[in-house]
Amino acid sequence: MSALGARRRERRGSRPLPSPSLTVAAVLVAAAVSLPLVYLVVRAASGGEAAWSVLLRPQTAEVLGRTIGLVAVVTVAATAIGGSLAWLMERSDLPLRRFWAVAAALPLAVPSYVAALALLATAGPGGALSEALPGEGRLLDITGFPGAALALTLSTYPYVYLLGAAALRRADPALEEAARGLGRSPFAVLREVTLPLVRPALGAGALLAALYALSDFGVVSLMRLDVLTRVIFQQYRTLFDRTPAAVLGLLLVVLTVVVLILEARARGRAAPRAAPTAARPVPPVALGRWRAAAVAFCALVVGLALVLPVGVLTYWIARGGSAGAGLGAGILAPALGSLGVSTVAGVAAVLAALPVALLVVRTPRPWTRALERLSYGANALPGVVVALALVFFAARYLGALYQTLALLMFAYVVRFLPQALAGARTALAGVNPRLEEAARALGRGPRSAFAAVTVPLAAPGLLAGATIVFLSTMKELPVTLLLRPIGFETLATEVWSATSVSAYSRAAPAALLLVAVAAPIVLRLVVRRDGARAEAEALGAG
Amino acid sequence: MSGSAPAIPPDMAVETRGLVKAFGALPAVCEVDLAVARGELLTVLGPSGCGKTTLLRLIAGFERPGHGEVRLGDRIVAGDGVWVAPEQRRIGMVFQDYALFPHLSVERNVAFGLPRRERGRGGRGAARARTALELVGLQHKAERLPHELSGGERQRAALARALAPGPELVLLDEPFSSLDASLRADLRREVELILRDAEATAILVTHDQEEALSLGDRVAVMREGRIVQLGPPEEVYARPADRWIAGFLGEVNLLSGMCRRGGAVETWLGVFDSPGTGTGRVQLAVRPEQLDLRTDRAVNAEVVEREFRGHDVLYRLRHEVGGSLLVQLPSLELHKVGARVHVRPAAAAVASVVD
């Protein structure tokens, strides 16, 4: 007993003390990441009665109700679609399963506001259908709640699908076979055995969908749906007193926390996750007469989420081209802007994540874990809130930095640090600390040992983290809109501003370019199946 | 080993004095004094959690001592306000899991510790790495990556890497524990030969009694952070300082007896030689091979269990007076379970007082 205790101590103690410079760097990073929330609270608290009265307005209750309704509809729809697709791909004899499996995940490459643009360019005011059907077409308008819910569902079901499919692959098929052996029908097995096994994964996917819907700004603003994010943005843009926006921002944060708590409680009651077993092919369930319906379902989802955006955008590009609008020149500046800020943000986020990841991996203590959790905390903050808080902070204390690229980069790093941190932590944890000690014993100093051993071994993970941040920055909208220097355009802002005025042929090239950049990255993540869970979670913060 | 000698003999490769290391409130290493002569192979033997790995890490510089000092040759490397980083200690270390760099070939692993200017292609370092690889018989695997080697080859690659820079001292942390039992004995001999060939001073840490006794010029037995006995293997085995060491190093019979004048102890089983003992009632540790069975004398015990081990046999006897006894004999002549025999001290049995 005491020997065992001593041994455990010995192991824990054999880790080096946290290095002071690393600690300082990690504390600075964690402080920077927590800055938006802290300052938002400070700002709202100093607002006085007038600012807080915004909560009592009847319009606010309406907005709150609309927000909750949207989140609920999107979460339920995304979970139903994603869960069904996961089961079809992993457990049924659906024809062309391998094709559908990739096609169903690929919409991850379509930013949600591009999905909204595609719906509007098809069935919105001035869209393709209203032009094709001059009479009834005018009545056809997807703007508002239906359009927003549809666009967000199409953008979020892949998270549920990927997590659900990964859980199904992990679930021990012997359990389902045992249930069949005990006389259950395939449907009863699904309901009584399979579903409970993958419930935690579906719950995690549903959480990502809910958080996405809650924090989304692009879709609701293009669909002109007054939910919290859009109202906050408008309050900030149009009113002289900006403090009510901060109060509403806090309300959004509270809503986010409520969602997180609900998910944690649901998970607390769920069965523990089945232990991973050796992969064994499961005999697929025969769909029988449902085959055609299943294929039609897959085709409908993939058609709306992937084929429609690409098709409609191509149509508008062709139209714009025939109308003689200058295409190539208009898109070059935003494309370069996107590429530049995304690359720098990816590298900067990984560099910022390194001290925190190193500290928690090398010296796991309660306080280093707390620093790490603090750094992850920003993940739950909606982009509009991050942007708003930084605008307030910069306008008051960093006047010189306001509307500079430096502040924009800082905001990206704050927003996407968790994604880089997840990659850096996994990569560094995979490097045996004995290797660096071996290098020290062979005469290398601490820095040289780190550079010669740890960096090359962790490089793939760090690069993956940088890639995900790159992708997220590329798609980012609210922070870019509020913090960019005047005249600075990215592909995202280009899509947003052109779509806002129904200039679809101007929005289409930028939107299609965004999809084209993201598609190969998403494809690689999806094809590398075992990593699907981590990647989907990392991507989920978009 | 007169630890109280004030002057350090000049040929000591490493010495620790009053070394103390605690993790939180839990002491891992307590007041350890140890001196290893140049060219000596010292084994440190102890159960898991006894602090032996911490002792190695203190010497290597991966842990800072709470008190005490570590000297390498005539240089203080830790203690007394002095701290020399591990990379400046010129110590080769072989880790329990080998810690070979997975992204580097065997040759580049071995060349890793050589000075930068020698490491380039075709430089002097390449020749030195080759020499080290030849020393361990791995020259034909130089281009392989660590994961392409067998367990035994990894072990030898780790040893070559530790030896290549010509360290003043080599530390081996349980180097055989992750190998198959069948490989272990062969490699043990091989590693010993390599170390002797390289004329290296080495400290090897293990929890395996056989390993410690067969490899070490001297064996330090460690328990709960302290070195409880230090000496040549035959001495530690034959004359354990206390009951715990006696039991830890192998099977033992504990007999109580009375001291008599002239270095002998009288027990219920007979008289044992036991030089330099105390007075009064004592406990004697008697190894199973220090007892003998006869069938041509008056019966005083019965065989109740027999464990045939090939080259020898271990019997458990019930003695008519004293209870249970273990006896080990060569397997030339076998006694059946149930046989009635006479048990007595073997001719040259020198037992040691442990309490």
The torsion angles phi and psi of A271, rounded to 5 degrees, stand at -70, 150
Domains and CATH numbers, chain B: 12-243 (3.40.50.300), 251-353 (2.40.50.140)
Contact: A441, B87; criterion CB under 8 Å: yes
DSSP per-residue string spanning A185-201: -HHHHIIIIIHHHHHHH
To the question of pTM greater than 0.80 for the whole model, the response is: no
- Digit-coded pLDDT (tens) for A446-486: 889 999 999 999 998 899 889 989 999 999 999 999 899 98
Contact: A443, B113; criterion CB under 8 Å: yes
Burial label, A310 (beta-carbon count in 10 A; 0-12, 13-18, 19+): middle
- Digit-coded pLDDT (tens) for A492-521: 999 999 998 888 888 999 999 999 999 998
Q: How far apart are CA A414 and CA A297, in angstroms?
A: 39
Which pLDDT does position B277 carry in this prediction? 59
Which pLDDT does position B233 carry in this prediction? 95
In this structure, the number of other CB atoms found within 10 A of the CB of residue B275 comes to 11
CB pairs under 8 A between A and B: 96
- Digit-coded pLDDT (tens) for A147-200: 999 999 999 999 999 989 988 887 777 777 777 777 777 778 888 888 888 888
The neighbouring-strand residues paired with A39 are: none
What angle, 0 to 180 degrees and rounded to 10, lies between the N-to-C axes of helices A112-123 and A504-527? 140
The torsion angles phi and psi of B198, rounded to 5 degrees, stand at -80, 0
| Confidence tier at A375 by pLDDT (50, 70, 90) | confident
Contact: B47, A442; criterion CB under 8 Å: no
In this structure, are residues B279 and B331 in contact, taking their beta carbons and an 8 Å threshold?
no
Structure tokens at B247: 């039991």
| Confidence tier at B120 by pLDDT (50, 70, 90) | low
CA nearest neighbour of B135 among B178, B104, B108, B166: B166
CA nearest neighbour of A196 among A273, A127, A91: A273
Which pLDDT does position A532 carry in this prediction? 45
Contacts with A374 (C-beta within 8 Å, 6 or more apart), sequence order: A30, A33, A34
Contact: B93, A441; criterion CB under 8 Å: yes
Q: How far apart are CA B130 and CA B137, in angstroms?
A: 10
Angle CA B258–B260–B264, to nearest 5: 95
Residues 146-205 of chain B with CB under 8 A from chain A are 161-162, 165
Compare all CA atoms of chain B with the CA of A458 and give the residue at the minimum distance: B103
Using a CB-CB cut-off of 8 Å, the residues of chain B touching A437 are 60, 62, 86, 93, 95, 99
Which pLDDT does position A541 carry in this prediction? 37
Average pLDDT for residues A116-134, to the nearest whole number?
84
Angle CA A381–A384–A388, to nearest 5: 100
**Which of B55, B93, B163 would you mutate first to test chain A, the one with the most A CBs within 10 A?**
B93
Contact: A442, B112; criterion CB under 8 Å: yes
The torsion angles phi and psi of B32, rounded to 5 degrees, stand at -90, 120
Burial label, A171 (beta-carbon count in 10 A; 0-12, 13-18, 19+): buried
Instruction: Measure CB to CB from residue B87 to each of A4, A12, A444 and give the nearest one.
Output: A444
Q: How far apart are CA A391 and CA A370, in angstroms?
A: 27
Contact: A443, B102; criterion CB under 8 Å: no
Name residue B156's amino acid.
R
In Å, how far is B58's CA from the nearest CA of chain A?
A: 10
- The DSSP output letter for B120 is S
Q: How far apart are CA A176 and CA A123, in angstroms?
A: 44
Using a CB-CB cut-off of 8 Å, the residues of chain B touching A442 are 87, 92, 112-113, 161-162, 165
Q: Is the pLDDT of residue B219 over 90?
A: yes
HSE (side-chain half, CA atoms, 13 Å) at B262: 3
Contact: A10, B162; criterion CB under 8 Å: no
Which pLDDT does position B274 carry in this prediction? 78
Structure tokens at B140: 């034909």
- Strands B218-223 and B41-45, how do they pair? parallel
A309 or B257, greater pLDDT: A309
ipTM metric: 0.74
Which pLDDT does position B1 carry in this prediction? 42
Structure tokens at A195: 């579903």
Looking at CATH, the fold of the domain delimited by A29-37+65-274+290-539 is given as MetI-like fold (1.10.3720)
Q: Is the pLDDT of residue A20 over 70?
A: yes
Name residue A329's amino acid.
A
- Digit-coded pLDDT (tens) for B260-293: 877 788 888 888 887 765 678 888 888 898 898 8
Structure tokens at B195: 């170390």
Q: Is the pLDDT of residue A295 over 90?
A: yes
| Confidence tier at A68 by pLDDT (50, 70, 90) | very high
Strand, coil or helix: B71: strand
Q: Looking at the complex, does the CB of residue B95 fall below 8 Å from at least one CB of chain A?
A: yes
What angle, 0 to 180 degrees and rounded to 10, lies between the N-to-C axes of helices A228-238 and A243-269? 160
- Digit-coded pLDDT (tens) for A269-281: 555 544 544 455 6
CA nearest neighbour of B349 among B268, B280, B264: B264
Q: Looking at the complex, does the CB of residue B117 fall below 8 Å from at least one CB of chain A?
A: no
> In three state form, how does the secondary structure of A251-267 look?
HHHHHHHHHHHHHHHHH
Domain boundaries, chain A: 29-37+65-274+290-539
Q: What is the maximal distance between C-alpha atoms in chain A?
A: 85
Which pLDDT does position A301 carry in this prediction? 96
**Cβ-count burial A354-376 (b if 16+ within 10 Å, e if not):** bbbbbbbbbbeeeebeebbebbb
**Which of A2, A10, A444 would you mutate first to test chain B, the one with the most B CBs within 10 A?**
A10
DSSP per-residue string spanning B135-202: HTT-GGGTTS-GGGS-HHHHHHHHHHHHHTT--SEEEEESTTTTS-HHHHHHHHHHHHHHHHHTT--E
Name residue A269's amino acid.
R
Contact: B86, A441; criterion CB under 8 Å: yes
B209 or A240, greater pLDDT: B209
Alpha-carbon distances, residue A263 vs A201, A207, B85, B230, B282 (angstroms): 11, 7, 49, 60, 69
